[in-house]
Structure 1
Amino acid sequence: MKVVTFGELLLRLEPEGYYRFVQVDKMTSTFGGAEANVAVSLANFGIDSYYVTKLPCHEIGQSAVNSLRRFGVHTEYISRGGSRVGIYYNERGASQRPSKCIYDRAHSSIAESVPEDFDWDSIFKDCSWFHLTGVTPALGGNLPLICEQACAAAKKAGAIVSVDLNYRSKLWTREEARAVMERICRYVDVCVSNEEDARDVFGIEACGSDVENGLINRESYKEVAVKLAQKFGFKKVAVTLRKSVNANNNRWSALLYDGSEFYLSREYDMVIVDRLGGGDSFCAGLIYSLLNGFNSRNAVEFASAASCLKHSVEGDFNMVTADEVNRLARGDITGRIQR
């Protein structure tokens, strides 16, 4: 089974531990990015995973490519050119102090890409699934058009198309997001949203929830899922549900609507090591489970468990196996040492 994801691979720079930006004179560097995170997770689950982006030909660009290759992600469709790798700076929050991300993505290679950089007919040959997120078209330039072309080509090739709405207010406005995502969602089979994305992008809001204060009415998101499915004809809608107690402690669960029934996953009480990539690991878990014929109940449990485990792993990439996810999904939640 061949899965393709498309997006921006970023250099992640952050202070060690819980130091603030203004305290440090050095930062650690890794790579990550929404769709790349999905590609790595799928490769770790044993899926034939391909990642598409554009990166410069210099050593930092090659380091970014190598960061994917080490986990078995196929990189032969990556276009090379341009002058810079996008960067994001991450400061980890603690207790009541939130984490903070600062983007430095302007004029990156992919932000300045053109449609001719990507041969979608070749890329989607024998492809089973294509995944992207709302972050990529939000980078502007030609990317809204390129993302729409990619979705159209994937559908023509017979692939399932999924999208994580993944709204980022630092990249575009709600009005810009709605105009672009409405066009892209015409091609989408499986839509993933968090507790805020449907509201921010399409104005579809859950009653009885106050996300900013950590109050999530899980039942109210059934209506959100139905409205999304009715608006675009999605075959499946998943909503991830995060109750934030503080920066270190969250409660995590998800809802899956398959067009007829609703399935709510177990809720996990998490102590967070690194929350970045949590939604991406959910998407990867959902793709993996649906490709492998899991029923809706088991699919949402596997995806939620995959995401729960990601919160215990440093960096953007989810360094867990399908066996580890299955153990958690089956109820092994104690975290006892394995000998």
Structure 2
Amino acid sequence: MSKKVVTFGEIMLRLQPDNYLRFVQVDHLEATFGGGEANVSVSLANYGLDSVYVTKLPKHEIGQAAVNSLRKYGVDTSKITRGGDRVGIYYNEKGASQRGSKCIYDRAHSAIAEAVPADFNWDEIFEGAEWFHFTGITPAVSDSLAEITLEACKKAKEHGLTVSCDLNYRGKLWSKEKAGKVMAELCQYVDVCIANEEDANDVFGIAASSTDVTTGKLNREGYIEVAQKLTERFGFKKVAITLRESLSANDNNWSAMLYTDGQAYFSKKYALHIVDRVGGGDSFGGGLIYSCVNGFDPQATIEFAVAASALKHSIEGDFNLVTVDEVNKLAGGDGSGRIQR
């Protein structure tokens, strides 16, 4: 029987110009779907876990298309509540060379933003589950969604689930002050915290010393210090921090650290040539959760998570469409990209 993981958040319609065209150049946009926790859910389904995604979507055809995009990859969509009027939208313009990517949200008054606590029966949703995952984007969407997320965390703990959270600060959705206040309450229920170079600083004012994310200069000792401070404050069992050295929009160095039981474990570093970086952090979260529920040791856990997310950067769209075997092959040292016959 496969292990059951529940994720909760907003799935959005993603509209994007072809290739590297700018918004102002195009007269048509490519439509796909994606969103933090939905991306994690697809990863976990691809790895063979019982992956349950929870959200609220309208009953109309665009809402159904969003549901279908998840079903296609084996995600359990039976706990999705139907109702409301809107599917949130985000417009994505891919950056190249020294021009960064650009993301424009149009998600106000989406079905999930206007959801109420009565929309979700968490006792039923968590039946037989062992893990619950959400991101800092979900409580940022609306005050009612922050309330629902808190209720979900409390219920997850009542049911004995491990809870993970990717801090995922989005300045376009809420202020640092509000994020700090709301996330501090939610993090009391979190066992595994995922962050990047900026999240811990933006949300909790915890920064790595001697690091400048704009120039790509990273200090390993500084990140151990960040993980220690987060652990001291919230009692996390594990803190995972992704380390992205951005050389340009197309080329990044990518690695991560896992801090657990007072010890830091660093992954190998990958030189990425990027096809699509949206969902890179979510694919890391998916790899981390898969490793944890399968009892990998800390070094193997961080190597699998980083290899999974390195592969995601080569895939168009939000979802990480790779198999366990492909991730293991890269984690084991085969990053040649040679054709498989």
What TM-score, normalized to structure 2?
A: 0.99
Partner of 1:317: 319
Aligned to 1:18: 20
2:296 paired with 1:280: no
Residue 323 of structure 1 aligns to a residue whose secondary structure is helix
Alignment of structure 1 residues 301-312 onto 2, 5 Å: 301-312=303-314
Deviations for 1:230-264, whole angstroms, at most 9, x for unmatched residues? 10000000000000000000000000001221100
Distance in structure 2 (CA, Å) of the matches to 1:134 and 1:7 = 10
| 2:105 corresponds to | 103
Looking at structure 2, the residues matched to 299 and 316 of structure 1 have their Cα atoms a distance apart, in angstroms, of: 22
- What amino acid is aligned across from residue 309 of structure 2 in structure 1? S
Residue matched to 2:213: 211
1:134-213 to 2 correspondence within 5 Å? 134-213=136-215
- What's the counterpart of residue 51 of structure 2? 49
Q: What secondary structure, in the 3-state scheme, does the structure 1 residue paired with 2:214 have?
A: helix
**1:93 offset after TM fit, Å?**
0.2
CA contact (8 A) 1:218 1:241 kept: no
- 1:120 corresponds in structure 2 to 122
Which ranges of structure 2 fall in alignment gaps of 5 or more residues? none
CA displacement at 1:216 relative to structure 2: 1.5
- Paired with 1:153 and 1:26, the residues of 2 have a C-alpha distance of 44
Q: State the alpha-carbon separation in 1 of the partners of residues 178 and 213 from structure 2.
A: 23
Counterpart CA distance in 2 for 1:140 and 1:183 is 16
Shift of 1:141: 2.9
Deviations 1:151-196 (A, max 9, x none): 0101110110000000000000000100100010000000000110
Q: Residues 51 and 73 of structure 1 are in contact (CA less than 8 Å); yes or no, is this contact kept in structure 2?
A: yes
Dislocated runs of 4+, deviation >4 Å = none
Q: CA deviation at 1:219?
A: 2.6
- For residues 29-40 of structure 1, the aligned pairs below 5 Å read 29-40=31-42
> Which residue identity does 2:145 align to in structure 1?
L
Residue from 62, 76, 93 that aligns with 1:74: 76
Q: Which moved more, 1:200-209 or 1:136-145?
A: 136-145
Q: State the 1:9 CA deviation.
A: 0.5
Question: AA paired with 2:42?
Answer: V
2:62 corresponding residue in structure 1: 60
String of CA shifts for 1:11-31, please: whole Å, max 9, x gaps.
000000000000000000000
Aligned length: 339
| Matches of 1:323 and 1:220, distance apart in 2 | 33
Q: Which amino acid is 2:76 matched to? A: H
Contact 2:288 2:304 (8 Å CA) reproduced: yes
Q: Please name the residue that 2:4 is paired with.
A: 2
Q: Share of identical aligned residues, percent?
A: 65
Deviation at 1:217, TM superposition (A): 1.5
Q: What is the aligned-residue RMSD (CA, Å)?
A: 0.5
1:134 maps to amino acid: G
Task: Provide the rounded CA distance (Å) in 2 between the counterparts of 1:274 and 1:305.
Answer: 15
Give the residue type in structure 2 aligned to 1:122: E
Alignment check: 8 A CA contact 1:112 1:141 kept: no
Partner SS for 2:27:
coil
Q: 2: CA distance between counterparts of 1:59 and 1:141?
A: 27
TM-score normalised by L of structure 1: 0.99
